Amino acid sequence: MRHPFIAGNWKMHKTVHDAVVYTKEFRRLVADVTEVEIVIAPAFTALHAVAEAARNSNVGVAAQDLYWEARGAFTGEVSAEMIREAGAEYVIIGHSERRALFGETDADVNRKTRAALAAGLTPIVCIGETLAEREANRTFEVLDRQIRDGLPGLTPEQLSALVVAYEPVWAIGTGRTATPAQAEQAHTHIRARLADGFGPDPARECHLVYGGSVKPGNIRELMEAGDVDGALVGGASLDAEAFAEIVAGSLKAPV
Instruction: Answer yes or no whether residue 217 interacts with ligand PEP by CB under 6 A.
Output: no
Instruction: Answer yes or no whether residue 214 interacts with ligand PEP by CB under 6 A.
Output: yes
Q: Which of 11, 37, 47, 2 is nearest to 247 (CA)?
A: 37
Helices (H), the chain: 16-29, 44-53, 80-86, 96-102, 106-118, 131-135, 139-150, 156-161, 180-198, 200-205, 219-224, 240-249
Instruction: Answer yes or no whether residue 211 interacts with ligand PEP by CB under 6 A.
Output: yes
Q: For residues 5 and 42, what is the distance between their CA atoms, to the nearest angstrom?
A: 17
Q: How far is the CB of 196 from ligand PEP (least distance, A)?
A: 26
* Nearer residue to ligand PEP within complex by CB, 81 or 221: 221
**69-77, 110-118, 185-193, 232-240 -> range binding ligand PEP (CB under 6 A):** 232-240
Burial of 153 (0-12, 13-18, 19+ CB in 10 A): exposed
Instruction: Answer yes or no whether residue 213 interacts with ligand PEP by CB under 6 A.
Output: yes
Q: How far is the CB of 236 from ligand PEP (least distance, A)?
A: 6
8-37: contacts with ligand PEP (CB under 6 A): 9
Q: How far is the CB of 97 from ligand PEP (least distance, A)?
A: 7
Q: Which of 4, 128, 235, 249 binds ligand PEP (CB under 6 A)?
A: 235
Sequential DSSP letters for 172-208: TTSS-PPPHHHHHHHHHHHHHHHHHHH-HHHHHHSEE
Residues identified as active-site: 95, 167
Q: Which of 39, 147, 172, 228 binds ligand PEP (CB under 6 A)?
A: 172
Give yes or no for a contact between 248 and 140, defined as CB atoms under 8 angstroms apart. no
Q: For residues 44 and 126, what is the distance between their CA atoms, to the nearest angstrom?
A: 19
**59-67, 108-116, 217-225, 233-241 -> range binding ligand PEP (CB under 6 A):** 233-241
Q: Which of 42, 150, 212, 230 binds ligand PEP (CB under 6 A)?
A: 212
Q: How far is the CB of 155 from ligand PEP (least distance, A)?
A: 27
